[in-house]
Amino acid sequence: MANGANGASNQTIKHHARVQSGEGHLDIYGYSLTLPRTILFYIFSFCTLGIFRLIIHWKEEWYIKVRATKCNLDQANILFIVDENRTTTHRLVKDVTRGSDGNPLILPNGLGSYREVSHIRYFTFRKMLYAWFEKEAKFIPPSDFDSSVPVKTLIDRIDDKHGITTAQVLQRRLTYGRNLIEVQLKPIVVLLFKEAISPFYIFQLFSVCLWYWDEYIYYASIIVIISVGSITLDVYQTRKQEKKLRSMVHSSGEITVLRDKGECTIVDSSELVPGDVIVIPEHGFVMQCDAILLTGTVIVNESMLTGESVPVTKVNASGLDDDNKTGNVKLDFDRHAKHVLFCGTQVLQTRNYGRGLVRAIVIRTAFSTTKGQLVRSIMYPKPIDFEFNRDLLKFVGFLSIMASFGFAYTLGMMFHYGAAWKKLVIRSLDIITCVVPPALPAAMSVGIINANGRLRKKDIYCISPSTINTCGAVNVVCFDKTGTLTEDGLDFYAARPVFPRSGTRDCSFGLDTGEMRPEDFPKGAELIKASAVCQSLTRIEGELHGDPLDLILFNKTNWTLDEGLDGEIKEEKGEGSSSSSAAEDSQQEIQSDQDQMSLVKPPEKHREYFGGDEFPVLRQFTFSSALQRMSVISGSTKKEESEEEKIVLYVKGSPEIVHSLCDPKTVPVDFQRIVNSYTQRGYRLIAVARRDLDLTRSEAMKIPRQEIEYDLEMLGLIIMENRVKPVTKIVIQHLNSARIRTVMVTGDNLLTAMSVAAECSIIRPDRKAYLLEHIADLKDEKGRTFLIVKEATRIDHDKFIPHKDISTDEIEKLLTPDYQFCVAGSTFAIVAKEYPELLDDLMTVCDVFARMAPEQKQMLVNHLQTLDYTVAMCGDGANDCAALKAAHAGISLSDAEASIAAPFTSKVADIRCVPNVIREGRAALVTSFGVFKYMANYSIAQFSTVMLVYFHLNAVPDLQFLYIDLFLATFIAMFFGNTGPAEYLSRDPPPTKLLSLSSMVSVVGQMLIFGLTQMYIYSWTATQPWFFMNIIQEGYGKADLLSHQGTTTFCVSLFQYIILAFLYSKGAPYRKSILSNPWLCFAILITTSVSTMVILSPPKLIIDLLEFDPIPYFSVRLYIMFTALACCAVAYLFNTFVVEYLIIVKLEKWRKLQKLRNPKSTIPKWERIMLRIATNTSWISEEANIENRSLDQKTKSWRKKSHFRGDR
């Protein structure tokens, strides 16, 4: 191994390897720098005055090919890296031999320990260090090895009472680096240089040098000012973002660690290394690393990472391997989040038995932590793979081709007239500078800047403004349910107790009751007791905090909660032992999932119903999304020493899970019917059960949960009401009417989710709705799980509402399904694993996803993107971080001004922000299209003017260029983005292709109209009796600037630029009327007035400044004015009738329809799927094992059908 004397690699070392990097991957290619190539590289760079070096700076692949040759990764000294977004870069491989202290280097071996190596080969990429591991034959972040070790092994390798030694700390620091999440501010000089060497500014530098050489001093100076201002503004914005991010993420402090035989040492958090055992303070501490909790309980606020401000209880990892007796459970930061203290979270409270230290082991530091990965995702955002940006480059390429023709034409003309070489070169190159207008970058950003400002006024904050344009293309929005579509909190609706068997009478449900009165419940009122005991609440500064559901339910019982029973518990646990330190150590070894010892007390007047004054909560198994339940072990207070303590297990969770854990004899026969009756009305149900445990208190503290969570006694149901927010239905209907697909993604029960989805119109009343479920223990001959399709609603075909536009109706009919599917997370996982051929189809027609884990939400968003959807995700941030980050547009509902969980954060906690973001996105996108077409046509019109003037070896005067470029183009373009979005979302989405037929016809059509008009006035001027032809002269002089033809062509062109502003500022259907933009109206009015004066009655000052060859007669000037206005009228009619009506309304919709009918056409993947399955469900019966069941709406009972037919 390159790292030391290790055995031979188990894998063949190759030129290429793929490495996981956070949520993505890197493709790494090995190269070796060679001396001859390096020498030639520097010679070429020097001889070309740096141009060669600049070109290969823009193209990373060329840099590698010029300087290096291919080799295997173990021999590489430079790497070519391609990330999952196809972004390329290169990194040098570095080599470190030993630390300055002489200690040997170490690397993790994947077994929870380390091996010494003679040296380490590594590179850094986006703040992460990647070391070479020969056994794996690839570069891997060392922290990945620590995360892949079984948790039991990881903990066993650490002496959690003594920690690691100082020598080990120094060794690990060389491998992992310092524990710092720093956003380093790049030097201003570096930012300026990187901005200045972009292709656009290099082109501007070329243009300015040419203009100064041509003595176009005014124009060149203005462009320099604009360019310097633009660069300065970009650098200022970059620095501002860096400072803002640094202030958001910067955090450091002192922390107590156990090192060198258990000594408590206070160190700076930057000194932490993986393997350090840290002591968690009681409160007011911000975690500076990711750590596994070893002892005690910690209550944290994770709002910095998730946006959810509800306190979260973290429990120690002693029971992590309960579900795996082999002890080989590997740490999963999502599945085992309740055991992990994440970097950036705030410690609110800690607790431990015997008042011992709350300890945790550092597992990840710096940028490998969860917070570090989030910061990296902001520092290195996913490039927006948006067709508009690609088309933009293509169109610039088209303009460049035009410029090359102009260059050749001018060169030929100048040569034909025998112009001096200097004039020949300058005029030929000058034509190229007309193609790319200098104000293009600034003009292209006005829509985004203004949209961002309007969003801020609506309390919607964006940390990634470039995402705004993408929002204009959104065609599917995924919503979390609780806290997003529905109110944040739940309201207690009723409790429905189960009355146990009595004689010959089976157990049965009682009536639901809206009050928790013991006299209304069976003897012992166990359902009330369970509701009070089975919770994860805690007191922080005297106030109860915890899960909102627990809080509401506990308050409803009127019980009280006291904490701080360490002394009493310890005395009970330590029976038969002295209070020696050995007994204390033994006591501290008895750990639990939560170590929270608290007392719950019933109201004094009701204590006789519950058989006790107070009940200690001995142990908690906190709620798990995977298990869909939580449980507690409760004790009792003994009235006499000889009395045996009664230990009881209480469980609450989803009805289906708790039902499966209960003794069937304790479950009413109509349990499922009662559950369905509530869930179909949108209520959220919690089933509650109990079991007496024949255990001592000490035994109860150690036993794994799977050994006690069975044969439970069903106590009843708690019915919670989760009200839909008032604005939800209005917003969903608004999105539906705009043909934007709405999808619910929730962790709640499937039937509850369907009820809420139907209430807010995600499930449409005019479509069939099917539930896709599975039979877990029934397999086919291929070993696949059987799927079940259940019809949930019926469709009334008479309720279809016809649309006015026939062609639109045909397209909509082809792309709108007659049905919708609903699926739970467990079935979704089975389809993804066992029926991958069904997944694309299901994702296209399934609009309700229930019981979805956070990673499944992310998978859903990612898969929708593979179907060519542009996806927005809206959630409250609690379990949606991964999905919010994965979406094209993530919108987090949070009261924080900015969150690193999503590009958008709305301080108004409802979904009205979604149409606002989409409307602003559409307005910004259409504005960008309009600005670009405006700048393109302005550039082409100016190009046409220059070409005509050059025909007789004249030139456009400097100040005429200034008038056009600054007073007309830039002044008008500044206010393009001030037009706000339309009040309502249009049914037709905005174009996302810049090179669409309508855009190209518009640009080319206006180019022809303007060009022909200029040619006409140019030719007409030459026929007039007052026309005077300047004598062509060699070199420079006033004669080759003054020209009647140049003056008339310039005057006509003025109104061409103005009409372009009017045409491309059109309002409906994506923006408000141009009249709502007073600044743009003012700019058009001012430029029109001044231009009219310049044509009809120019003062002597204007004539001198613009270097006119004066037009002698007013009638002639009036005719020129008439020609200009006629050109504007033709341009308006062409854009309105040909482009907007014939092309957009008729032809493009007809072409779209033809594409949909042609199976070989290029259309989005989801459209192709929809064409196949929109009107029938045979796709699922053909591919899967279907047992169809239908829900009878009258009897609410299930009946089996003989076969499955989804066709209408």
Give residue-wise pLDDT tens across range 430-451: 777 777 766 676 677 788 888 9
Summarize the chain as % helix, strand, coil (round to 5).
45, 20, 35
213 or 879, higher pLDDT: 213
Q: How far apart are the C-alpha atoms of 583 and 1198, rounded to whole Å?
A: 60
Question: For 691-736, what is each residue's pLDDT tens digit?
Answer: 999 888 888 888 888 889 999 999 999 998 878 888 999 999 999 9
pLDDT of residue 1193 exceeding 70: no
Q: How far apart, in whole angstroms, are the C-alpha atoms of residue 927 and residue 922? A: 8
The secondary element (H helix, E strand) that includes residue 105 is: strand 105-108
The pLDDT of residue 564: 55
Say which residue, 965 or 955, is predicted with more confidence: 965
Half-sphere exposure of 145 (CA within 13 A, CB side): 26
Instruction: Give which of 822, 547, 853 is closest to 679, Cα–Cα.
Output: 822
Q: Is the pLDDT of residue 335 over 80?
A: no
The CATH H-level (homologous superfamily) assignment of domain 476-487+724-887+1176-1200 is: HAD superfamily/HAD-like (3.40.50.1000)
Q: For the chain, which residues make up each domain, given as ranges? A: 16-146, 210-248, 254-379, 399-472+923-979+991-1154, 476-487+724-887+1176-1200, 506-570+589-721
Secondary structure element (H or E) that encloses residue 1129, with its range: helix 1114-1133
Instruction: Map tokens 């506990």 to a residue.
Output: 554
Distance CA 670, CA 889 (A): 45
Is the separation of the CB atoms in 284 and 301 below 8 Å? no
CATH architecture of the domain with range 506-570+589-721: 3-Layer(aba) Sandwich (3.40)
pLDDT tens digits for range 674-688: 998 888 787 888 999
CATH says 399-472+923-979+991-1154 is which class?
A: mainly alpha
Compute φ and ψ for 747, nearest 5 degrees: -95, 5
For the annotated catalytic residues, the residue numbers are: 480
Do 476-487+724-887+1176-1200 and 506-570+589-721 agree at the fold level?
no
Q: Is the pLDDT of residue 1120 over 70?
A: yes
Count of CB atoms within 10 A of residue 1015's CB?
14
- The residues, ordered by sequence, that sit 6+ positions from 657 with a Cβ below 8 Å of its Cβ are 627, 628, 629, 687
Q: What is the mean pLDDT of residues 931-942?
A: 88
* pLDDT at residue number 1192: 36
Give 810 or 464, the one with higher predicted confidence. Answer: 464
Give the range among 134-148, 984-998, 1125-1139 with minimum mean pLDDT. Answer: 134-148
Residue 1030 has pLDDT above 70, yes or no: no
How far apart CA 976 and CA 926 sit, in angstroms, is 10
- Residue 471's pLDDT is what? 92
pLDDT at 814: 66
CA angle 801, 803, 808 (to 5 degrees): 135
Position 697 scores a pLDDT of 84
Q: Which of 99-113, 557-571, 809-823 has the highest mean pLDDT?
A: 809-823
Most confidently modeled range among 300-304, 738-742, 800-804: 738-742
Q: Which tens digit of pLDDT belongs to each residue from 645-671?
A: 789 999 999 898 999 999 999 999 999
* pTM for the predicted model, two decimal places: 0.73
Rounded to 5 degrees, φ, ψ at 305 are: -95, -40
**Which architecture, in CATH terms, is 254-379?**
Distorted Sandwich (2.70)
How far is residue 604's CA from residue 595's CA, in Å, rounded to a whole number?
27
CB-CB contact of 635 with 618 (8 Å): yes
Q: Residue 189: which residues within 8 A CB-CB, separation 6 or more?
A: none
* Residues sharing a CB contact under 8 Å with residue 898, sequence separation 6 or more, in sequence order: 244, 248, 461, 463, 905
Reply yes or no on whether the pLDDT at 618 is more than 60.
yes
Confidence of residue 620 (pLDDT cuts 50, 70, 90): confident
Residue 504 has pLDDT above 50, yes or no: yes
Whole-angstrom distance, CA of residue 97 vs CA of residue 118: 6
586, pLDDT greater than 70? no
Shortest CA distance to 371 belongs to which of 316, 470, 466, 290?
Answer: 290
Overall average pLDDT of the 1091-1110 stretch:
88
Instruction: Give yes or no for residue 759 having a pLDDT over 80.
Output: yes
Phi-psi region of 945 (alpha: psi -120 to 50; beta: other; left: phi over 0): alpha
How many whole angstroms separate alpha carbon 255 and alpha carbon 1022?
A: 87
Q: Which of 488-492, 911-915, 1077-1081, 1199-1203 has the lowest mean pLDDT?
A: 1199-1203
pLDDT at residue 148, as a whole number: 65
Averaged pLDDT score across all residues of the chain: 80
Looking at residue 1013, its pLDDT comes to 95
- pLDDT tops 50 at residue 766: yes
Number of helices (H), then strands (E), in the chain: 42, 44
Confidence at 643, pLDDT banded by 50, 70, 90: low
Average pLDDT for 850-857: 81
> What is d(CA 1180, CA 818) in angstroms, rounded to the nearest whole number?
15
